[in-house]
A and B are shown apart, each in its own frame.
Chain A
Amino acid sequence: MKTKLTFNIISALAGILFLAQGCAEMAPDGVYKGDALLYRADSIIPMSYTLLHTYVQWEYTNREMLKGTPQIKASADYVRLNAKNWITSAMVMREAYALVKSDENANKLQASLAILSSALNEATKYMTAHAVTNPK
């Protein structure tokens, strides 16, 4: 139950992070010059890589023990096949937005961050589900 609680906390924190960064106040003299979207992108992209890496590492480490749950394999393999594209695409959109801060580029960047957010939710969901011990 302690593990389940931990993952519930992680899910909540991840959600808070994604939501809060969209409306946080920026110190105007920082390197982002008040651009919350660019700051949010630079926060989310590295964290997404680390979280997705943690997920595939977790599945890899526990491969034998998770054999009875093929949906974990399917989900982790989906991340393995797509994570590089998700991260790379988000970086390309981030760089385009940093260069030209148009509405179109902002929308494309936000869309790519939403894809990353969806992938993180998926990974967290599976790890949370399997952190439940002996459900009765």
Chain B
Amino acid sequence: MLSPTRSNMDPLTALNTASAAITLLNMLIPQIQGMFDAGQITVEQQTKIQTEYAALKANLEAGTLFQGPEWQVRDPD
């Protein structure tokens, strides 16, 4: 697999990267907190997870996922 290289990053890239990071953090932290705060996965949390899975499945079946320009493979440079 390809290995990453480190590079200098301009402020806009840093801003976009930080924005992506915040999105991920907002998503991950509640799930992990819910997992450990109550000592077990609660009934409510189970229902929420099942609902989220059902929504994703419905969107996949409706063909609304993987559709934006960000999902298009770029032409070789």
CB-based A-B contact count at 8 angstroms:
171
Contact assessment for B18 and A60 in the assembled complex, using a CB-CB cutoff below 8 Å: no
CB-contact partner of B50 in A26, A42, A91, under 8 A: A42
Interface of B is mostly: helix
* Residue contact A14 to B77, C-beta cutoff 8 Å: no
Interface presence of A29 (CB below 8 A): yes
Chain B, interface size category, equals 35 or more
Interface of A is mostly: helix
Q: B27-65 toward A: CB 8 Å interface, digit per residue (1/0)?
A: 111011001100111110111011011011100100001
Assembly CA distance A72 to B5 (angstroms): 9
Partner of A42, one of B9, B20, B25, B49: B49
The reply to whether B2 and A39 contact each other, CB–CB distance below 8 Å, is no
* Cross-chain contact of A3 among B17, B36, B60 (Cβ < 8 A): B17
Q: Mark A67-84, 1 if CB is under 8 A from B, else 0.
A: 111111111010011011
A residues contacting B by CB (< 8 A) are 2-3, 6-7, 9-10, 13-14, 16-17, 20-21, 24-27, 29-32, 36, 39, 41-43, 45-47, 49-51, 53-63, 65-75, 77, 80-81, 83-84, 87-88, 91, 94, 122, 125-127, 129-135
11 A–B contacts from the bound complex (CB under 8 Å): A6-B21, A24-B35, A25-B41, A27-B40, A42-B52, A47-B31, A59-B70, A87-B65, A127-B17, A130-B4, A130-B6
